[in-house]
Each structure stands twice: as structure tokens, then as C-alpha cells.
Chains A and B, each alone.
Chain A
Amino acid sequence: MLQFILKRLLGLIPTLLIVGMLVFMFVHLLPGDPARLAAGPDATPETVALVRQDLGLDKSLPEQFLRFVSGALQGDFGRSVRTKRPVSTEIRERFFPTFWLTIAAMAWSVTLGMMLGIVSAVWRNRWPDRVGMTLAVSGISFPAFALGMVLMQIFAVELRWLPTIGADTWRNYILPSITLGAAVAAIMARFTRSSFVDIMQEDYVRTARAKGLAEPVVVIKHGLRNALIPVVTMMGLQFGFLLGGSIVVEVVFNWPGVGRLLVDAVDMRDYPVIQGLVLLFSLEFILINLIVDVLYAVINPTIRYR
């Protein structure tokens, strides 16, 4: 097991290196001179030269890359062009609202999605299946930003049951997490259903039924455990989807998280912040995929001997 995790960790190094290089190159791919961008439009040539020296932009590219990597490893991404505060501080303040929002969305959407999927698979082609799958296909077809606006209009503006914006109490989390999780619940429902339907046609399920086991035992003991293996993988992929989705949802609900920070940074051309955030998002995504792979190996022992 430990060997497997080590092997997966080593396998990440090339991906991390390329991601790091892409994020580093990002500033150099931008039209215009990064030093001038950082110095601001009114800066004199002398100031620009100073800023260039200060940011190390006068060094060679490989040297700059090394500086970038060692800075990033220490959590130093430079300063925001807009607020002049360290990028790491900006991100740290905004991290937890997004983190909890993602967790809340993940928790309800995975639970509900898997339940819908199992119900649909057990009552395949009957009315629970049709209702479940109609809901699911609608869920993947309704864009999060439109859903968020509709929910906000109904529950916050018309009915006044819930607050519209901000992230102060748990009640603030209800609408954004529903908005963010809807598509994931739908995808999980569809995926669980198809995985379950496949499993229920396996020989060992027929054997379990033939030896007279009660249907609930067959479904839970023989069906569920095996059907969950691909579902766990899917769950991990959905986490990445949530990270991306949170960007849009945070704009709708004016959420004080990293997603909106990114949108504002792109608007303001605040490149150090963009750089730090893109790296953060990618690292999270890679980390989640690693956790999923390990979980997968825990559930399914055959994978370890690959």
C-alpha cells in the first residue's frame, strides 16, 4: 500500500513540473512587458527598470523559473498589483468560504445523487427511474449561474426566506451550495445508475438471488459494494468540477471566496494573484485525484498489483 502511494506521488512530479512551468510562463505569454504591468501605466522608465530588477525579470528565464519555484514552495507568490498585499494573504483570507461551500455542495450532492441513482437502478424503467433520470438530465442541462439567479429570486427576493449575499451564517450557505451541487448530484445519479445496472446483471448477483437471498440483501451487499468502485472515481472528478463551478456561483452570490477573487483579478489584470490562484486550483485538483486513486486502491484490492 505504502509503495503504491509512493509510486503515485513520484508519478505526480512530471505533471507538477509542467503545471508549474505553464503557470510560470503565463506572465511571459501575456501581451506587454510584465515589469511595466507591475509598475503601473504612469511609471517612468527608471521605475520600470527598478521594478524589473526587484521582480528579478532581468535574469535569465531558467533562473527566474527557479526563483518562482522556490518562492512558490515557501508560499510566496509576490504581491497583488491592485492591493499591494502579498498574494498568499489575499488567498488565505478567501480560501475557507470557498472550501466550506465546496464541502457543503459535495456532501449533499453526492448523497442525494447516489440515492437517486440506486433508486433508479433498482426500479429500472419504472416511474421512480423516469422521475429520477428526468431530474438528472435537467440538472446537467441547467447552467449553475441561471439556477443560482432563479433560486435567489424565489427564495431570497420573493419569499425572503434566505439571505441573498454574503457568507456569515450557515443560512448563507444553503442557496449557493444547492446551486453549486445540482449538476454534480445529477451526474452522480446518472453514473451510479448505470454502474448499478451493470453490476445487477453480473453472474454473482444472479447466484445470490438463486440461493434465495432477500432482494435488499442482494442490492446492498452484492450490488452496492461493487457498484461503488467506479462511483468513487467519479466523485473525485466531480470535486474538480466543483472547484471550477464555484467560480461562477461565487459571482452570482457575491461570495467572498477565491473564485470571485480570480474573476476580479482577471478583470483588474492582477497577474500575480491570477498566477497564485491558478496554481492553487491545479494543486487542489491534482491532490484530490491522488486521494481518489488511493481510495480506489483501498476499495478495490486488485488495483494494487498493477
Chain B
Amino acid sequence: MTSVAASLPVAERVRTPWSEFWRKFKRQHVAVVAGIFVLLLVAVAVLAPWIVPYDAENYFDYDAINARPSAAHWFGVDPLGRDIFSRVLMGARISLTAGFVSVAIGALFGTALGLLAGYKEGWWDRAIMRLCDVLFAFPGILLAIGIVAILGGGMFNVIIAVSIFSIPTFARLVRGNTLSLKHLTFVESARSVGADDWTIVLRHIFPGTIAAVVVYFSLRIGTSIITAASLSFIGMGAQPPTPEWGAMLNEARADMMNAPHVALFPSIAIFLTVLAFNLLGDGLRDALDPKIDQR
């Protein structure tokens, strides 16, 4: 998309899709703040092992068990004497990885299947859409539980499970876009000058589906983080002492009477993270959707 702009020998600002997107996006202050928060989270997730004040799994302060937030322990201490702040930071690493990797895998396969179904139509289309129907026939978390029951617990299997159930959403989305794009004039003209299927799909149709995929990507990350945390919460994902947010909440349940703050901070962490991805996704959608009038 940007290569078109680069080839234009014009001195003044050219309205590329990218600059148009940026112009609309930066007007949405909530989405911009959410985007900055997401970047901050990514930084925290990457740097967590170096910035945590205490070891998240192996540091036990037996004198401060169930202590409320203080200068030494910003988010307090859990029933085993571990520093909650450190655990929440390390948890960001796990949750963001789970969310991002699973949606990336889902988007990759889903987009490929959607392009194939929409472009080829006929037999391919029916087979792929039938497969999606079957995947849709299981409520998301149930599918994940089924997969975890076969493969066993743990974060790696949770990521696989969540990826699989992200595939059909992307496949349907991309298929729909492909179907409407492939009959447009620019695709027909590409075909008329002798472009092969690969070129048409990758150079001419795929770029047209990117906007929708990006929006869904952001919105799905929120959902996937919640699903992964839910699985850990019901004991099928990350196992203690791993500082995964859902697993932390599950551990905190045992001592809610004496130490409700142990549950509070992981809850806030999940909420703010998912909220940021959802707000960012909403902003991206409004900036990328040409149908929405700016107001």
C-alpha cells in the first residue's frame, strides 16, 4: 500500500491509506491512550524478569504473610509470603504471550483458509465452511476444555486450544471479504493482464482483508486472554506456583476471608489489559472502516 505513495513524485503530503488511518486514529483519544497502555504492557512483559522487585515464584517473606499493600510490597503479600506485585508483573508476560501467540496462530490459519475458501469457492469453500461450522458447534471454552482433556493441562496446550477456536472467526471474516473483493474491477484487470492465482490472492486480495483482520486481531486478544485465564482458573491451564493471573485468582480463592487483596490485583490486571485491547480494537475499527463517518 505504501509503495504506491512512494512512487508518486509529489512534494506535498499524499493521502496514503496509512496516513489516512493515522489521521483518523489519532483523533480517538481513548484508543490512543489504550494503545499507549498496550505498548507499556508489552514493555513490562518483556522486561519483567529484570524489573520485578522480588522473585515471583521462589521468594517467600514469612514475616509478612497476607500483608496488605505497603512500601516494601506495593500490592501486598499472598498467603505463602510471595510478593504480589512481582507476580502480577510476571503474569503479564504469560498472559500477553498466551493472548498474542494464540490469536496470531488463529489469524494465520484462519486467513489462509478464508482466502482459499473465498477465492476458490465451490468444493473448497463448502469443505472449509463446514469445518468452521463444526468448530462453531462447540462453545469456545468447551472446545478448549476438550482439547486440554486430550492433550493434558498446562499453558502450552491452552495456547493450542485457544488458537484452534480462533481459526473459524478469522476464516469467516476473510472469506466474506475475499468474496466481495474478487469481483471488483482491479482484481479482474489483474487477471486480464495474466496474473496467476497466487499473485492475485497475495498482492491484490489479501491487502484488502488486512484492515478487518487487524481489528479482529486486537479484539480477539482480549477474548483469548480471558479464555486462557479462565482455563487456568478452573485448574486446566497454568499450574501453581506459576504467576498466571487466572491461576493466581484460583489460589486466592482459598483465603478470600483473610486476604481479599490477593485476588484484587490480578483481577485489576486482567481487567485493564483486556480493556486496553478492546478499546484499541474499537479505535482501530473506527479508523479503518470507511463506512463510519467521522464524528
A202-B234 Cα distance, complex, nearest whole Å: 47
* Known contacts A243-B139, A248-B141; A146/B267 CB under 8 A: yes
Select which of A125, A143, A153 is within 8 A of B229 by beta carbon.
Answer: A143
> Does A191 sit within 8 A of B, measured CB to CB?
no
* Known contacts A26-B146, A138-B275; A244/B270 CB under 8 A: no
A269-B142 Cα distance, complex, nearest whole Å: 15
Q: Is the CB of B270 within 8 A of A143?
A: yes
Interface residues on A, range: 35 or more
> Does A114 sit within 8 A of B, measured CB to CB?
no
Chain B residues within 8 Å of A269, by CB = 149
A149-B259 Cα distance, complex, nearest whole Å: 13
From residue 1 to 46 of chain A, which have CB atoms closer than 8 A to chain B?
A: 14-15, 18-19, 22, 26, 29-31
Q: Is the CB of B270 within 8 A of A146?
A: yes
Residue of B nearest to A140 (CB): B278
| A-B contacts, CB under 8 A, total | 121
Q: Is the CB of B233 within 8 A of A248?
A: yes
0 or 1 for each of A131-154: is its CB under 8 Å from B? (1 = yes): 000000110111111100110110
> Does B184 sit within 8 A of A, measured CB to CB?
no
From residue 149 to 167 of chain B, which have CB atoms closer than 8 A to chain A?
A: 149-150, 152
Least CB distance from A186 to B in Å reads: 10
Q: Mark the stretch among A50-58, A225-233, A277-285 that contacts chain B.
A: A277-285
Interface residues on B, range: 35 or more
Select which of B139, B270, B274, B295 is within 8 A of A241 by beta carbon.
Answer: B139
* Known contacts A153-B256, A266-B145; A285/B138 CB under 8 A: yes
Q: Is the CB of B256 within 8 A of A281?
A: no
0 or 1 for each of A244-263: is its CB under 8 Å from B? (1 = yes): 11011001100000000011
Max count, chain A CB within 10 A of own CB: residue among B145, B152, B282 = B145
Chain B residues within 8 Å of A251, by CB = 233-234
Q: Is the CB of A244 within 8 A of B142?
A: yes
* Known contacts A143-B226, A278-B138; A266/B150 CB under 8 A: no
> Does A286 sit within 8 A of B, measured CB to CB?
yes
A149-B236 Cα distance, complex, nearest whole Å: 19
A19-B136 Cα distance, complex, nearest whole Å: 10
Q: Is the CB of A247 within 8 A of B263?
A: no
Chain B residues within 8 Å of A285, by CB = 137-139
> Does A267 sit within 8 A of B, measured CB to CB?
yes
Residue of B nearest to A244 (CB): B139
> Does A106 sit within 8 A of B, measured CB to CB?
no
Select which of A19, A150, A267 is within 8 A of B235 by beta carbon.
Answer: A267
> Does B246 sit within 8 A of A, measured CB to CB?
yes
> Does B120 sit within 8 A of A, measured CB to CB?
no
Chain A residues within 8 Å of B140, by CB = 241, 244
Chain A residues within 8 Å of B279, by CB = 137
> Does B133 sit within 8 A of A, measured CB to CB?
yes
Select which of B234, B256, B270, B282 is within 8 A of A248 by beta carbon.
Answer: B234
Least CB distance from B103 to A in Å reads: 16
Least CB distance from B212 to A in Å reads: 15
> Does A274 sit within 8 A of B, measured CB to CB?
yes
A156-B295 Cα distance, complex, nearest whole Å: 44
> Does A240 sit within 8 A of B, measured CB to CB?
yes
0 or 1 for each of B43-74: is its CB under 8 Å from A? (1 = yes): 00000000000000000000000000000000
> Does A303 sit within 8 A of B, measured CB to CB?
no
A67-B140 Cα distance, complex, nearest whole Å: 28
> Does B28 sit within 8 A of A, measured CB to CB?
no
Residue of A nearest to B263 (CB): A149
Task: Please report A residues at the B interface, Cβ cutoff 8 Å.
Answer: 14-15, 18-19, 22, 26, 29-31, 125, 137-138, 140-146, 149-150, 152-153, 157, 240-241, 243-245, 247-248, 251-252, 262-263, 266-267, 269, 274, 278, 281-282, 285-286
Query: Can you give 15 A-B contacts (C-beta < 8 A)?
Result: A15-B130, A15-B134, A26-B149, A26-B150, A140-B278, A141-B278, A145-B233, A245-B141, A247-B142, A248-B141, A248-B230, A266-B148, A269-B149, A281-B142, A285-B139
